[in-house]
């Protein structure tokens, strides 16, 4: 687990103050893939492919949700 870690956000010429990281695991930890699958498993099943207007495509840590409609709200 992460203890005593900090990070900063950087956008163009802006850099934030230090932000404490209160939870998480170290990048590259073998446990991270299992936790990711558990966390995102419901995201992959969100779309309703039976409607033929929704589709979820997922590979490793990339997920795309595709929806087709005549208007944005549809």
- Among candidates 68, 70, 73, 71, which has minimal Cα distance to 47? 68
Is 73 inside any structural domain?
Answer: no
Residue labelled with tokens 């209160």: 22
11 or 73, which is more confident: 11
Mean pLDDT of the chain: 82
**Of the candidates 54, 32, 58, the residue with the CA atom closest to the CA atom of residue 44:** 58
pLDDT band at 51 (very low <50, low <70, confident <90, very high): confident
Which residues span the domain enclosing 14? 5-67
Q: Is residue 51 part of a domain?
A: yes
72 occurs within a structural domain: no
User: Given a cut of 70, is residue 2 above it in pLDDT?
Assistant: no
Q: Which of 9-18, 27-36, 60-69 has the highest mean pLDDT?
A: 9-18
Rounded to two decimals, the pTM is 0.43
């Amino acid at each position: 687990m992460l203890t005593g870690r900090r990070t900063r956000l950087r956008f163009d010429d802006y850099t934030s103050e230090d932000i404490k990281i209160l939870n998480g695991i170290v990048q590259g930890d073998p446990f991270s893939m299992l936790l990711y699958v558990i966390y995102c498993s419901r995201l992959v099943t969100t779309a309703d492919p039976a409607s033929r207007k929704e589709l979820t495509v997922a590979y490793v840590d990339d997920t795309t949700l595709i929806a087709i409609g005549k208007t944005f709200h549809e």
